[in-house]
A and B are shown apart, each in its own frame.
Chain A
Amino acid sequence: MLDKFKSSFREEAEELLGQLESTLLELEDSPSDAELLNAAFRAIHTIKGSAGMFGFDEIARFTHDLENVLDKARAGKIAISREFIDLALRGRDHIRGLLSSGDELTEDLRRTTDALVEECRALAAETEARNEASPGSPGAAAPEQPASGAPGAASEGKRTFYIRFQPGPDIFRNGTRVLSLLADLAELGEATLVPHVHDIPRLSEMDPERCYCYWEGYLTTESDRNAIRDVFIFVESESSLTIEEIEETRINDSRTKRLGELLVQYQHVPPEEISKALSSQKRLGEILVEKGIISKDALDTTLAGQNHAKKIQDKAAEAGGALASVRVASEKLDQLVDLVGELVTLQARLARTSLDLKEISLAAISEQFERLIAQLRDNTMSIRMLPIGSTFNKFRRVVRDLSTELGKEADLLTEGADTELDKTVIERLNDPLVHIIRNSLDHGIESPQDREAAGKNRKGTILLKAQHSGAHVLISVRDDGAGLNAEAIRAKAVERGIVAPGQELTEAEINQLIFHPGFSTAKSVTKVSGRGVGMDVVKREIDSLGGTVMISTERGRGTEMTLKIPLTLAIIEGLLVAVGGEYYVVPLSSVDGCIEIPKEDLRKVGERRIIPYRGDLLPFVDLRSYFEVPGETPDIAQIVIANAQDSRLGFVVDNVIGDYQTVIKPLGRMYKDVSGISGATILGDGTVALILDVNRLSQAVQAESQRKVQAG
């Protein structure tokens, strides 16, 4: 049982740490933003609390000191410097390390904790001395401004009312249930009510049918005054009811101002009394009541108001931040997608059967079923979609740490963080993107001196941008660095024996060379890149996602790498084709068009294997002979023209059957060496069709034709 809690703590902490990192990085850019600092503090505070509760003592031990430092910063006693952010970031990393180390605590980790605790204390102590002089430093002033965005947006259209309800003494006698009235009231919105019970006499003197209580409190609701009045409509004549609207500012006051200030403002008490009371050390409210300055009731109501405001704003912040979401284990999602996939398949079968039976009533059911399943499929797919922004934060950290290490200055700007992509795709994009960004920093962005000499800003910029483009997402990484050096690349490629010395190459071909395995242009081997593994790995990973990589570069101005990635890996639109008795699916996103070709023409083309298409001459593959399908080509064959990564090619098939929603199933490990096929799908009649891997087939065809040229 405890393990379950522990694992949910880990999950939650993992998420909090993710937020913490981005918050800290933002804070570094805008150190005066108190909301960010508060968010960071809250994250640490929550982790500390839960860590202690679930026995992560080591985490609790040092988050305490880290929290202290953040708290001091909140009070404006510590300036938000780079060192401060550094410390906080390292603290965050350490918590993460401790989390993933499990229950085993190595000596290394313990030492790191000690060192961090030491640093935290040193920072706290160092600033202690000079804090008195500067009360107005960054963090201190800011809480005055109401948090921009979230609470405002969430409380839009909502108003807060002060409500005082004193039922008549005989209210119980006519059968009214006061508690259900209050429950009705609470249903209108967010209510905080305080019962005032001090009029209840001693038991011996009490008349049980008499009402001695009254209620006071606050309600934040979208309903208006009349709706509130309606709740009390049957008792209004015998009760006293006060409903007053409260302005927004007063609520925000309640959140940020102290009880004393509020009591003064609401004219429960004059200011002098507050300061007098404050000088003694008891709790303010109790003192005031004790001294008879305010009634216990007034105090309770005001306190309730304070709590109420807190509750409303916390709710609003929650709604603004987390969009009222539910946490679901990703395996469950995967199972759901599998099941929907099976439904899609089964539906195709049902449609076919109803067509065969020519039964109209069955066809109607099947059609309706089809619509529902299409919706279900779209919904399920959208559940798996995540905004790519969650990974962007990681890259900001990469840039920050790496630029320090390399002695360069660079900013990472991001655009389109809310672009949504399938969860699995995002996960698999992570490594390639880290690699590209590292490369941009290492090879692209020049040192500050070089940049100044070239008349550029000392600080380089890397722009990470995501945007939708049809069934694809384009993710580009653009730097304003030196650009690719074509001569250097060429020279290197010749040296490595990748190209022949005299070979004619276009600019695009030269740029493509950096994706060649074993290629690296860095003059020195740095810790970061330049070990010759890199861009080829990126390319392979993107290939396996069914995506493509494009480069454009301008000397002295920078380089841009664009990844084109399919939105989802689970379902694609495909074009179903037949060769002999076999069925294949060509991904529709890569289909350019279809043409017919008479059998004789195919024969005439013969060895050259080139066909004219829209003014171009394209190579083609006869799938029948390439896949060794038995049977004869029909008198008129079809050619499906498809776009591969950097070229177009045709596939000769017997028949084009039509487009087809395809749930992609992996072929499994036993077929991992098979090239030209990227997966399988189940057709309406339950048989399996194979999905063509257009890029691989194109490469194979090119390689083959090159061999022929060399041989001939």
Chain B
Amino acid sequence: MEETSGRTGEYLCFFLGQEQYAVNVSRVEVVLEMQNVTRVPKAPPHMRGVINHRGSVVPVVDLRMRFGMGPSKLAEGTSIIILQIEYGGDLLTVGVLADGVREVVNLDPADTEKPPRLGSRLDEAVIEGIAKRGDEFVILLNIDEAFREGVPGTAVPAGTDR
């Protein structure tokens, strides 16, 4: 949250279920159409598998499961957002499943509100802020925190998919 200054205000908005989330575009490498994801057996359920991205094997993570929203449907319209994240001190390329990718919008991090203490299913650290666009809310994700090892994704028990 304290690191928001100095970043560009451009964010990529996407859906997880009905909720809108956004990540800073500087972290986004490319958005891919849904493709065959190779399942890795014996891995945690939110690790949906791996794909071939430009000759490298890239893990695909289901943020909905990570956040306790039930598994994503691998349907048409589902996208894989390839992101650069910091993971245990290294830069890592990962794919994230999104139920739909909307658009790139300009959001001023200074205008965003701090997440409310209550009523959020997410860990506070994962949320950089909440922006209001018209009458919609967009949750700005701190993507590094979302992948931090051992961070419980949720304050609500899993399986509350709407």
Interface hits, A565-584 → B, CB 8 Å: 582-583
Contact among A341, A668, A674, A687 with B36 in the assembled complex (CB-CB below 8 Å) = A687
B128 → chain A closest CB, angstroms: 22
Contact A671 B40 (CB under 8 A): yes
Contact B51 A688 (CB under 8 A): yes
Contact among B38, B56, B87 with A582 in the assembled complex (CB-CB below 8 Å) = B38
Q: Size band of the A side of the interface?
A: 20 to 34
Contact B42 A627 (CB under 8 A): yes
- The count of A-to-B residue pairs whose CB atoms sit within 8 angstroms is 70
By secondary structure, the A interface counts as mixed
A41 → chain B closest CB, angstroms: 45
Answer whether A668 and B57 are a contact pair too, CB < 8 Å, given A682-B52, A687-B36, A688-B51: yes
Answer whether A671 and B92 are a contact pair too, CB < 8 Å, given A342-B55, A690-B38: no
The answer for the CA separation of A342 and B55 in the assembled complex, in Å, is: 6
Chain A 694-705, CB-CB to B under 8 Å as 1, else 0, gives 000000000000
Chain B residues within an 8 Å CB radius of A671: 40, 43, 47, 50, 59
Cβ-based interface call for A329 (8 A):
no
Cβ-based interface call for B111 (8 A):
no
Q: A338 — nearest CB in chain B belongs to which residue? A: B55
Contact A669 B57 (CB under 8 A): no
Contact among A626, A666, A673, A689 with B38 in the assembled complex (CB-CB below 8 Å) = A689
Chain A 574-596, CB-CB to B under 8 Å as 1, else 0, gives 00000000110000000000000
Q: A689 — nearest CB in chain B belongs to which residue? A: B38
Q: A670 — nearest CB in chain B belongs to which residue? A: B59
Interface hits, A604-647 → B, CB 8 Å: 626-629
The answer for the CA separation of A583 and B36 in the assembled complex, in Å, is: 12
Cβ-based interface call for A59 (8 A):
no
Cβ-based interface call for B82 (8 A):
no
Q: Size band of the B side of the interface?
A: 20 to 34
Chain A 333-356, CB-CB to B under 8 Å as 1, else 0, gives 000001001100100000000000
Contact A667 B57 (CB under 8 A): yes
A545 → chain B closest CB, angstroms: 20
Contact among B43, B52, B90 with A687 in the assembled complex (CB-CB below 8 Å) = B52
Contact A669 B90 (CB under 8 A): yes
The answer for the CA separation of A72 and B135 in the assembled complex, in Å, is: 89
A694 → chain B closest CB, angstroms: 15
Chain A residues within an 8 Å CB radius of B51: 688
The answer for the CA separation of A582 and B39 in the assembled complex, in Å, is: 8
Interface centre among B49, B51, B55, B87 (most CB of A within 10 A): B55
Chain A residues within an 8 Å CB radius of B56: 665
The answer for the CA separation of A667 and B52 in the assembled complex, in Å, is: 11
Cβ-based interface call for B41 (8 A):
yes
Cβ-based interface call for A101 (8 A):
no
Q: A341 — nearest CB in chain B belongs to which residue? A: B55
Contact B50 A677 (CB under 8 A): no
Q: Which B positions have Cβ atoms within 8 angstroms of A? A: 36, 38-43, 47, 49-52, 55-59, 61, 87-88, 90, 92, 94
- In the complex, given contacts A667-B57, A682-B52, A687-B52, what are 18 additional A-B residue pairs having Cβ atoms less than 8 angstroms apart? A345-B55, A582-B38, A582-B39, A583-B38, A627-B41, A629-B41, A667-B59, A669-B87, A670-B59, A671-B40, A674-B40, A674-B42, A677-B41, A680-B50, A680-B57, A688-B52, A689-B38, A690-B38
- 19 A-B interface contacts by CB (under 8 A): A342-B55, A582-B38, A627-B42, A667-B40, A667-B59, A668-B58, A668-B92, A669-B90, A674-B40, A674-B42, A675-B42, A676-B42, A680-B50, A680-B57, A682-B52, A687-B52, A688-B38, A688-B49, A688-B51
Q: Which 9 A-B pairs have the closest CB atoms?
A: A627-B41, A688-B38, A342-B55, A665-B57, A680-B57, A670-B59, A682-B52, A688-B50, A674-B43
